[in-house]
Amino acid sequence: MPDTEKTPRRRKNGPFLAIAIVLLCGLGAGLTALRYSTQAVSTADARLLFDGKVLATVRTKDARNIREGMRATVTVDGYDEQKFPGLVELVQPDTEAETLVMIRLKSPPAIDHPPVACQVTVDTSIPPELLK
């Protein structure tokens, strides 16, 4: 008598599983980038003035989470991508579209002729009260 029972066939889920893992990784990377961009406000519209003071112009919608005392990182043009740490001293809405942010550098570079163009990134992920 012939065996009428079929042996179970194994599915090959390998390609489906690999694609699912790649898609999940891509989604995770995208969400991480989105979260970082909301917690690290950056602008290239900044000038190093004098005595280590940096005046930056930030879009008001991006500046809504910036508070006095938050950490900032400044890259000054002409200083080989060296990063200068600083603290936000003042946040002043200028117009509905722009907010002025004053930053004091901890160890400013010696500049001969201010103002000097620079880029600013403010880390809004740590509240200033936790930095003290």
Q: Is residue 16 part of a domain?
A: no
The overall pTM is greater than 0.85: no
Angle at alpha carbon of residue 76, lines to 71 and 81, rounded to 5°: 95
With CA atoms as reference, report the closest residue to 90 among 132, 114, 56, 118: 56
Q: Is residue 34 part of a domain?
A: no
Q: So what's the pLDDT on residue 91?
A: 93
* pLDDT digit string, tens, across residues 62-113: 888 888 999 999 999 888 778 999 999 999 987 788 999 999 999 888 887 8
Alpha-carbon dihedral sign for residues 21, 26, 27, 28: positive
Element (H, E) at 61: helix 60-63
Q: So what's the pLDDT on residue 85?
A: 93
**Structurally, how many domains does the chain consist of?**
1
Task: Inform me whether the pLDDT recorded for 118 exceeds 60.
Answer: yes
Average pLDDT over residues 20-47: 81
State how far the Cα of 43 lies from the Cα of 84, in Å rounded to an integer: 15
Domain of residue 115, CATH code: 2.40.30.170
- Domain range spanning residue 114? 41-131
* pLDDT digit string, tens, across residues 40-61: 788 888 999 988 899 999 988 8
